[in-house]
Amino acid sequence: MAYLLQPLKVGTLSLANRLVMPPMAKAKADAAGKV
């Protein structure tokens, strides 16, 4: 379980830990990207 709390590097992106949460909603923005 401690493995999940270790930093992770994906390409040039560094994440503080390995826990990721997906978006909770989709298609809520207009064509200009405003919510």
1-35 tens-digit pLDDT = 788 999 999 999 999 999 988 877 777 778 887 87
Q: Which residue type, as a one-letter code, is found at position 6?
A: Q
Q: What per-residue confidence (pLDDT) applies to 26?
A: 73
Q: What per-residue confidence (pLDDT) applies to 8?
A: 92
* Per-residue tokens: 16: 């503080």
> How many Cα atoms within 13 Å fall on the side-chain side of residue 17?
8
Q: Which residue type, as a one-letter code, is found at position 25?
A: A
Q: What per-residue confidence (pLDDT) applies to 31?
A: 83
Please compute Rg for the chain using Cα positions. Answer: 15
CB atoms within 10 A of CB 14: 9
- Distance CA(35)–CA(10), nearest Å, equals 28
